[in-house]
Amino acid sequence: MAEKSESPYPLAAANGHSRGDEESTANDAKELKKKKRMKCLLYIVLFAVFQTGIILLFALTVMRIRNPKFRMQSGSFVDRFDVGTEASPSFNLRMNAQFTVKNTNFGHFKYEGGSVTLAYRGTRVGQATIEKARVRARSTKKVDVVVELSSSSLSNNKELGSDISSGLLPLTSYSKLDGKIHLMKVIKKKKSAQMNCTMEIDIPTRTLNATRFGSDTLAWPDGHGPTSGNIEEALNSLGSLPITMDQNFSPPMQNQNVFLYLSQQPQQGQPWVSQGSSMTRHF
């Protein structure tokens, strides 16, 4: 009877210890599951942020479709350069011109054929035909054409005589190439490459002087880069503020609160920057 009365106490202690272990194991399992869920949630958030970044980068670079640039790169006169005098003004020229179509998009640009019109003080004096072609993604295509320039259609010979006497023949050229940007063989968007530039033919040297596209870029078509003379002439052709160059290109130069710096790489705060055969104004 004594043995039967003593037996409940150790059994109860053993059962209590077993239940405590089970509760501790259950709590550890719950904590482990909670950590796994938190880690999984963290991975999902990081993946979503990464995917969003990739999509934004893709939208701001690859999917951002811009208009290609159409420019007159150079012009030379080799076989015919007939220019009259101030008393008997006229001109009959043959120019070997090189145009460029620059495509900065990630898809190729396929454009239809077009024409480039060259005018003297608003009157057409020449025209060049541009054949339809395709420009690869992020590349520049060169187009060589021969342009016939003639004063036969001009009615005001007084201005022409004055320009011939000065030795500079002003010309303007304009054109528009319509086409489409083809991106990943799925997306097709209509875009056009436009050109509207001014230039001068230097009669004594038979060369094409600085070409200006719009109001922010000056280019030297001969490709040899700027000199003190043609920079001064090109900048003053803007008709805003007179700028005088020194022979040593010493930066900085100041003239009526306009600073001119010359360097190979643009830097912040430099209104005009020389790069190879062009100058760009940074607003």
The whole-number pLDDT of residue 14 equals: 52
Give the global pTM.
Answer: 0.62
Task: Please name which of 153, 148, 169 lies closest in space to residue 86, comparing C-alpha atoms.
Answer: 169
Beta strands 207-208 and 211-213, pairing class: unpaired
Mean pLDDT of all residues belonging to the chain: 76
- Whether 198 shows a pLDDT value over 50: the answer reads yes
Distance CA(20)–CA(22), nearest Å, equals 5
In order, the DSSP letters of 142-183 are EEEEEEEEE-TT---HHHHHHHHHHTEEEEEEEEEEEEEEEE
Q: pLDDT value at position 85?
A: 94
Query: CA torsion sign, 197 to 201 to 206 to 210?
Result: negative
87/160 Cα distance (integer angstroms): 10
The span from the CA of 197 to the CA of 202, in Å, is: 16
Please tell me the least confidently modeled range out of 12-26, 84-98, 265-279: 265-279
pLDDT tens column, 205-244: 999 986 676 534 444 444 444 444 444 444 444 433 333 3
Write out pLDDT tens, residues 145-166.
999 999 999 987 889 999 999 9
Asked if residue 87 has pLDDT above 50, the reply is yes
- What per-residue confidence (pLDDT) applies to 69? 95
Output the pLDDT for position 230. Answer: 47
N-to-C CA span, the chain? 107
Residue 135 CB contacts under 8 Å (≥ 6 apart), including other chains: 68, 101, 102, 103, 108, 109, 110, 111, 141
Q: Which residue has the tokens 């399992």?
A: 29
